């Protein structure tokens, strides 16, 4: 009889779990040259998970040299696309075989529920790798029309050495969004995971080796902001892809300009608006989606629907539905499969969100929550929190990155679109209405990279590009368009 995978099962698994804490460079796990490490603690209860190698200049230089050597050697970049596809699919299959281990690492490292990591995070990362593996042998060049005396071709070539600096909120998934298209395109990759959540990235490096990814093609250098700075300044990195804060994104762009003008792609913050019109076809479903949009993953989502704009005539009825829906997001033990939400990533993030909640109590009207929760000693748990406010408050303008929702009332459609666009961010938005004309006006008028209609954060499929307008960044992850970030186009013109 199969063993029930309840909280006791996952706690037992976490006790026996082996954690790889060394960097992965040139096909081998290695410690830092000076022996330096940094501690990684679990947000669940604060316990130390590992002492991880702290990569600095020597390790970054070694990783870049390995990646450059692998790229110039052609053992990956010059493979037939179907051969790269086969290797990436072998890697994905190994990740699938180790999915439970990876999910547990992700839960221990981030404090998110095991139900999420087993059902969403790890399967989505594997799907991303499989999707780009399957794409790579189906992307063709061009033969443009030209003078009959000439034959011209446009071909796609890998850019070279790609550095990927990824965040802690979806560690393996955000990494896959970068390394999967970069590797599929024929590049060598240096992955720098967040110092708050490096463990799953280090584990999959060994699986890459087992899958036959050549030495130097995939490297992982754990470290802190200084490690990222060294990568952004390195003259032999051709491209850097980053997901994180606007402040760090700006500094990376400056560093790239000050070094070799490496190509930089940024996916930054968001303050996404979720607009509910009076003719919304299903208020209860919209309220449930609005709660999920901001309280899932404890609100630590760049596209979280943290601004809820509700037409005034239905505001009272909608808020009643919303308060009921929000109560389903009280945090629980992340190792319990029944838990819907878990812990914030660390004490610094907990204190940041608490600071915004205190601001909200002064600026706005508290409707729900606003306090911490005693779930697991040593963890960082917060109640789902809702404020009624206007658009001028700081909680309605600034990215909180926590389970805090600002509800703002409006009168007319044009007011809602103007409020939604009155932000430096433009990552995502949603619009709820039964009026096709209003839907068309809103979807065209909202300055956001993704617009959901009568849903929120659904069908975030690999076929759709993901990224933002304005200060939410540049470039797009996912879809065939992601290959553009990691490729150069070459025109070849032949006189016949």
What angle do the packed helices 171-184 and 99-110 form, to 10 degrees? Answer: 130
Beta bridge partner(s), residue 477: 466
Of these residues, 267, 321, 399, 471, which one is catalytic?
A: 267
267 is catalytic: yes
Of these residues, 55, 239, 280, 302, which one is catalytic?
A: 302
* Nearest to 381, CA basis, from 115, 34, 43, 66: 43
* Nearest to 182, CA basis, from 205, 148, 159: 159
- Burial (CB count within 10 angstroms: exposed 0-12, middle 13-18, buried 19+), residue 474: middle
- Burial (CB count within 10 angstroms: exposed 0-12, middle 13-18, buried 19+), residue 246: middle
Cα distance between residue 118 and residue 107, in whole Å: 9
Sheet containing strand 385-388, edge to edge, reads 365-368, 385-388, 404-410, 307-311, 273-276, 428-432, 450-453
Contact 114, 102 (CB under 8 A): no
Return the beta strands (E) in 291-355 as ranges.
Answer: 307-311
Q: Tokens in use for 247?
A: 């402040």
Cα distance between residue 392 and residue 46, in whole Å: 37
Strand 28-30 and strand 23-25: pairing? Answer: antiparallel
Cα distance between residue 491 and residue 277, in whole Å: 50
Give φ, ψ of 492 to 5 degrees. Answer: -120, 125
Sign of CA dihedral 39, 40, 46, 47: negative
Sign of CA dihedral 475, 479, 481, 485: positive
Contact 243, 221 (CB under 8 A): no
Contact 432, 441 (CB under 8 A): no
Cα distance between residue 315 and residue 326, in whole Å: 16
Cβ neighbours of residue 197 closer than 8 Å, sequence gap 6 or more: 40, 106, 109, 110, 168, 171, 345
128 is catalytic: no
Three-state DSSP at 478 gives coil
Catalytic residues: 267, 302
């Amino acid at each position: 009889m199969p063993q029930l995978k309840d909280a006791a099962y996952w706690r037992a698994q976490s006790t026996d779990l082996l954690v790889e804490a060394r960097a992965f460079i040139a096909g081998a796990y290695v410690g830092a040259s000076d022996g330096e490490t940094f501690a990684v603690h679990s947000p669940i209860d604060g316990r130390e998970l590992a002492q991880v190698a702290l990569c600095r200049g020597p390790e970054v230089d070694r990783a870049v040299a390995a990646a450059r050597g692998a790229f110039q050697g052609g053992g990956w970049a010059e493979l037939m696309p179907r051969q790269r596809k086969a290797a990436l699919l072998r890697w994905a299959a190994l990740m699938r075989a180790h999915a439970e281990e990876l999910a547990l690492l992700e839960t221990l490292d981030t404090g998110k529920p095991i139900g999420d990591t087993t059902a969403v995070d790890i399967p989505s990362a594997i799907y991303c790798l499989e999707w780009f593996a399957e794409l790579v042998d189906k992307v063709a060049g061009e033969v443009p029309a030209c003078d009959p005396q000439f034959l011209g071709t446009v071909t796609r070539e890998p850019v070279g050495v790609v550095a990927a600096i990824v965040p802690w909120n979806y560690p393996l998934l955000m990494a896959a969004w970068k390394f999967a298209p970069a590797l599929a395109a024929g590049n060598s990759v240096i992955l720098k995971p967040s110092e708050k959540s490096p463990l799953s990235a280090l584990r999959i490096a060994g699986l890459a080796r087992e899958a036959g990814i050549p030495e130097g093609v995939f490297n992982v250098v754990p470290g802190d902001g200084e490690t990222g700075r060294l990568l952004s300044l390195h003259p032999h990195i051709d491209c850097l892809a980053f997901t994180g804060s606007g402040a760090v994104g700006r500094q990376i762009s400056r560093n790239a300009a000050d070094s070799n003008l490496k190509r930089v792609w940024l996916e930054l913050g968001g303050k996404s608006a979720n607009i509910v019109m009076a003719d919304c076809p299903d208020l209860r479903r919209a309220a449930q989606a609005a709660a999920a949009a901001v309280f899932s993953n404890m609100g630590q989502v760049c596209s979280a629907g943290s601004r809820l704009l509700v037409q005034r005539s239905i505001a009272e009825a909608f808020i009643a539905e919303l308060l009921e829906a929000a109560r389903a997001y009280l945090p629980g033990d992340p190792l319990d499969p029944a838990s819907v939400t878990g812990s914030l990533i660390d004490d610094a993030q907990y204190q940041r969100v608490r600071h915004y909640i205190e601001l909200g109590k002064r600026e706005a009207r508290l409707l729900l929550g606003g306090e911490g929760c005693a779930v697991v000693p040593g963890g960082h748990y917060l109640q789902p929190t809702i404020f009624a406010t206007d658009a001028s408050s700081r909680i309605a303008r600034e990215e909180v990155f926590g389970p805090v929702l600002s509800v703002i009332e409006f009168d007319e459609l044009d007011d809602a679109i103007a409020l939604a666009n009155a932000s430096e961010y433009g990552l995502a938005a949603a619009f709820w209405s039964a009026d096709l004309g209003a839907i068309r006006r809103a979807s065209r008028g909202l300055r956001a990279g993704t617009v959901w209609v009568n849903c929120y954060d659904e069908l975030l499929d690999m076929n759709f590009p993901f990224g933002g307008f304005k200060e939410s960044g540049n470039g797009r992850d996912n879809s065939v368009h992601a290959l553009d970030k990691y490729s150069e186009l070459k025109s070849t013109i032949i006189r016949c």
